[in-house]
């Protein structure tokens, strides 16, 4: 994926669920100084069966989406990027 495509995917996904992401970050104590989509520069996405998992992250926060719904957020750490199962870092059933 080229950089403009990644940026467009991040912006589109975050725009669809802006309020839900903001509420999720606030619930987890991760909102910080606000939600600025431009701060989110990384994206990892994969299919498991018919379900798409996507992790969008900034330098400090990672948000897991199941299909297009944000389901959990954590403090970002680099171990997430090289993981065989990035969703294992998140609690999907809160």
Model pLDDT for residues 35-65, shown as the tens digit of each residue: 777 888 899 999 999 999 999 999 999 999 9
| Helix residue ranges, H only, 1-94 | 3-16, 18-27
Contact 27, 68 (CB under 8 A): no
Q: Could you give the angle at the alpha carbon of 85 between the alpha carbons of 70 and 50, nearest 5°?
A: 60
Q: What percent of the chain has pLDDT over 90?
A: 53
Task: Read off the pTM.
Answer: 0.88
Record the tokens describing residue 5, joined without a space: 């495509």
**Largest pairwise CA distance in the chain:** 37
């Amino acid at each position: 994926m080229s950089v403009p495509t990644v940026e467009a995917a991040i912006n589109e996904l975050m725009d669809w669920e802006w309020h839900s992401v903001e509420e999720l970050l606030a619930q987890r104590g991760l909102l910080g100084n606000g939600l600025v989509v431009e701060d989110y520069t990384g994206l990892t996405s994969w299919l498991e069966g018919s379900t798409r998992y996507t992790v969008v992250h900034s330098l400090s926060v990672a948000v897991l989406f199941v299909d297009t719904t944000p389901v959990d957020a954590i403090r970002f750490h680099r171990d997430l990027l090289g993981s065989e199962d990035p969703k294992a870092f998140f609690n999907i059933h809160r």
